[in-house]
Amino acid sequence: MTDLDKLAAQREIGERIGVFAEAMHASETQELRELERQALEEGVPIIRPHTRGLIQCILEMAAPERILEIGTAVGYSALVMHTYAPGPCKIVTIEKDHARAAQARDNFARFGAEGITLMEGDAADILQELDGPFDFIFLDAAKGQYIRYLPDIIRLLPPGGVLLTDNVLKEGEILESKFVVKRRDRTIHKRMREYLTAISRDPRLRTVLMETGDGAALSVKRRI
Ligand code: SAM
């Protein structure tokens, strides 16, 4: 077996594990299932079931009282966090697309989710003005911008605070050399690599990269 064959076999196993793991996370409330179905039908990119499972575990472990989400879309993941937070919890979520923000507001009202505050605008501007701490930050917006948000994210996390970054592997493309990546995707590829290096090497964080969903990075702010 050549090295390339081994790589292909490993990738296939990785993909099969991914499909298996996603199938394990089928259960959720009827209301959330309906919202998920609607979002997928309208082509809105929302968290995958495996990522939802990871978020549910984080909520139980960290029992956050204040959550910050960057990238609301129509409010699905914010409502997952609202539904599964084990105790009283305030959620601030940021969305820059007006139509999506309006849909999210309607969904929050329909779910009676008064603990969720939507901030409409560009996360780069809003983050600078925000005061923390947020015990759990879920980063799920424009992948090329994550590196810009990092200084504010670290400022907003208390010691022991958790940062979950979604879609960090871009279907495995991030592992490839930039020369294999299509020219139009090279900037995002470079910035995501910079971001992953930064969260992995920053002495204030402990970070682990996972294959969850489309790749997730779990970071904890160290208690030093
Ligand atoms: N977290 C959502 C969920 O799982 O239900 C999905 C979020 S979707 C992947 C990413 C969202 O981030 C999009 O709705 C997009 O409009 C928003 N976004 C992109 N760049 C942004 C920015 N600079 N500031 C705020 N929101 C942004």
pLDDT 10s digits, 94-109: 999 999 999 999 999 9
Comparing C-alpha atoms, which of 113, 121, 143 is closest to residue 105? Answer: 113
Q: Write out the two tokens for 199.
A: 């969260």
Q: Please give the model's pTM, rounded to 2 decimal places.
A: 0.91
Please tell me the distance between residue 5's alpha carbon and the centre of ligand 1 in angstroms. Answer: 37
73 Cα nearest atom in ligand 1: 14
Tell me the C-alpha to C-alpha distance, in Å, between residue 195 and each of 69, 119, 126, 174, 199: 18, 24, 20, 11, 6
Where does residue 64 fall: left (phi above 0), alpha (psi -120 to 50 degrees), or beta otherwise?
A: beta
What does the pLDDT read at residue 26?
59
Instruction: Give the residue carrying structure tokens 């499972």.
Output: 53
Residues lining ligand 1, judged by CB closer than 6 Å?
A: 45-47, 71, 73, 76-77, 94-97, 100, 122-124, 140-142, 145
Atom 16 of ligand 1, nearest CA residue: 97
Q: Write out the two tokens for 78.
A: 């914010």
What does the pLDDT read at residue 16?
72
Atom 4 of ligand 1, nearest CA residue: 46
Comparing C-alpha atoms, which of 85, 55, 54, 78 is closest to residue 141? Answer: 78
Cα 142 to its chain centre, rounded Å, is 11
Per-residue pLDDT of the chain (224 residues; tens, 9 = 90+): 787 777 677 667 766 776 777 676 655 789 999 999 999 999 999 999 889 999 999 999 999 999 999 999 999 999 999 999 999 999 999 999 999 999 999 999 999 999 999 999 999 999 999 998 999 999 999 888 999 999 999 999 999 999 999 988 866 565 656 656 566 667 778 888 999 999 999 999 999 999 876 789 999 999 98
Q: Which amino acid is at 115?
A: G
pLDDT tens digits along 52-101: 999 999 999 999 999 999 999 999 999 999 999 999 999 999 999 999 99
Q: How far apart are CA 178 and CA 96, in angstroms?
A: 29
Please tell me the distance between residue 149's alpha carbon and the centre of ligand 1 in angstroms. Answer: 13
